Amino acid sequence: DQWKSRDFTLDIYGSGPDDVALCERIERYGLKERVRMAGFERDIRKIWADHHVLLMPSRSEGTPISLIEAQICARPAVVTDVDGNGEWVKDGQTGFVAKEASVEAISDALERMWSRRDQLRAIGEAARQAWLAKRDPDPEGTLLALMLEQSRQ
């Protein structure tokens, strides 16, 4: 496998009921030098100060806050094309999209990311700009205007 010779690390943030199973798999596959359970971190700036890409190989997803946080911090993402992810990540422009949640599709997206690793900073900045373009600078005002409009109908 080509990943065995590549210089990378994977930090898994958050915690949940599968933590023990994940730790056991990391140990079983001899990945302790590359994969780390990082737990919960409240300050996203600490995460993105030292990390370059968000990996979200989800089977289902809404619009994940971690994806938005990565984009705010100008980091590209590798995501599966489930639910809202394709609306936030444009393949090759603001990140990389796996066509489905399968080993083959995610591997393909990771390969495309790796082949453009020298461009990750620019892709991350494009992700940030795309987020800024979608951002509502006055969400309360927008909600109020919608409510007023509905009350007049």
For 5-29, the pLDDT digits (tens) are 889 999 999 989 999 999 999 999 9
pLDDT reported for residue 94: 97
CA 117/CA 52 separation, integer angstroms: 9
Cβ–Cβ < 8 Å for 68, 88: yes
pLDDT at 98 over 90: yes
CA 99/CA 109 separation, integer angstroms: 8
For 51-76, the pLDDT digits (tens) are 999 999 888 777 788 999 999 999 99
| Integer angstrom CA distances of residue 24 from 62, 88, 150 | 28, 33, 54
Give, as one character, the DSSP assignment of residue 32: T
pLDDT above 70 covers what percent of the chain? 99
pLDDT (mean) for 84-112: 93
pTM of the predicted model as reported, rounded to 2 decimal places: 0.84
pLDDT reported for residue 61: 72
